[in-house]
Structure 1
Amino acid sequence: MSSTMIPCLRYENAPEMIDWLCRAFGFERHLVVEDGAGGIAHAQLTLGPGMLMLGSARNDAFGRLQRTPKNLGATSQSPYVVVADADDVYERAKAAGAEIVSEIRDEDYGGRGFSCRDPEGHLWNVGSYDPWAGTS
């Protein structure tokens, strides 16, 4: 049996952030389930073989366990997205209004990457370094 890890995030305005993530990073909608109140009950976005799950921040049993950076006042997680062309994604993220936290650069451990915050404060690390390359 193989295992896969999928980051899960909450957003105040999940519908808008789905559009933003697709525009800025190149995610594609795999499944989007609206909650009937203008929010998102559950969404799955893909980027190559990777996936991100997200939903609207809400006050329910599960929602109380996950806060947005805005509500928390801090960042508690930081997804790393492996891309073929970090410079292209950097330009797209900047054009989409990402707050660049760490400018694009060549990394000592290989690859090229940058860090940014999305409009709701989630920290994203994006780069061409693939820790799985050359492993089996």
Structure 2
Amino acid sequence: MSVDTGAKLIPCLRYRDAPAAIDWLCKTFGFERHLVVPDEGGGIAHAQLLFGKGKNMLMLGSAVESEFGRLMRQPDQVGGCTQSLYVLVDDADALYARAKAGGAWIVIDIKDEDYGGRGFSCHDPEGHLWSFGSYNPYTDEECDKA
């Protein structure tokens, strides 16, 4: 049975230690395991993590040599990140405290933004860049005009 959540965009990441990344993402950022498929080498062939009310998904797997894996690079292989993920949260301060306690490398401290909302940016243990904030572009008046 197919369920239409309204979500049409699902970010995908690769981790060298995907099992540890899943544990960290769940404990620190509040993701929940939806589906985790181990591979035969102790890594993760495919995982789906949910955030919030179950409509927001992140897919991830182990960084392995495969058809898809050859297309991906880890942040340390390119000298930083080529993309970031923005996660809309109700309480940026609470998530900021969890991120700091979980060992996230805070790269932009929590602050009120000129364009609205409150947020911060950090790296996870493998260097992926995450931004969390209360700014909701879907409620922006300019978005409503489009």
Aligned to 2:37: 33
Q: Runs (4+) of structure 1 moved beyond 3 Å? A: none
Share of identical aligned residues, percent? 63
Q: 2:92 aligns with which of 46, 71, 86?
A: 86
Q: Assess if the C-alpha contact under 8 Å between 2:7 and 2:56 holds in 1.
A: no
Provide structure 1 residue ranges, at least 5 long, that are not aligned to the other structure: none
Q: How does 1:26-65 map to 2 (within 5 A)?
A: 26-48=30-52, 49-65=55-71
Superposed CA offset, 1:30-86 (max 9, x none): 110001211000000111221100000001111010111123332111000001100
CA–CA distance in structure 2, aligned partners of residues 3 and 46 of structure 1: 12
Unaligned residue ranges in structure 2 (runs of 5+): none
Of residues 104, 117, 127, the one that matches 2:123 is: 117
Matched, 1:5 2:14: no
> Aligned equivalents of 1:101 and 1:3: distance in 2?
28
- Tell me how large the CA RMSD over aligned residues is: 1.6
Q: If you compute each CA radius of gyration, which structure gives the higher value, 1 or 2?
A: 2
TM-score normalised according to structure 1 size: 0.94
Question: What TM-score does the superposition give when structure 2 sets the normalisation length?
Answer: 0.88
